[in-house]
Amino acid sequence: MGLFDKLFSKKDNKKGEDMSSKNQTSSSYGMFNPTSFNKIIDIKNEIKDKCHKIMGEDGSILEKYMDSLSVSDDRKIVYLDKLALDQDVIREFANYLKENTYDLPDAITIKERTAKIISDENPELTAIEVYIKLIEEKRQAG
């Protein structure tokens, strides 16, 4: 049995036999689960849509950045939802993505703290986490 057959042919749950010629149905499709695959595609599309909704023209830059993160897709959605809370921070984050530096003119400053300072204090944070922290500090400052 070839790889394609292993992935897509219906299997007998007990024997692992090809059931395509039998009049039985099975909810198992070898190693491939179409429901899980569709959920993955839906989540990927949700991430893409959020990136473009948040940053408009720069959505593809954000999408590329999100693809580079080593976190789950669910975590990416949480990050995007938090980022979407502040338009000023979104603009600065877009500039960060274009310039690849926190040293930006007119950087947002909250109680004498900028994204650069947050990053220096927390080197383990990714850039989006730094900007989410900036949003949180901005909200706490009122």
Q: What's the domain count of the chain?
A: 1
The runs of H, that is alpha helices, within the chain are 3-8, 34-55, 59-68, 73-83, 87-99, 115-121, 127-141
Residue 113 is given by DSSP the state B
Residue 27 has pLDDT above 70, yes or no: no
Would you state the pLDDT for residue 72? 96
pLDDT, residue 86, reads 97
Does residue 17 lie in a domain region? no
Domain membership flag for residue 14: no
CA distance 9 to 18: 6
User: 20 in a domain, yes or no?
Assistant: no
pTM exceeds 0.85 for this model? no
Q: Is residue 11 part of a domain?
A: no
CA 3 – CA 68 distance, rounded (Å) = 29
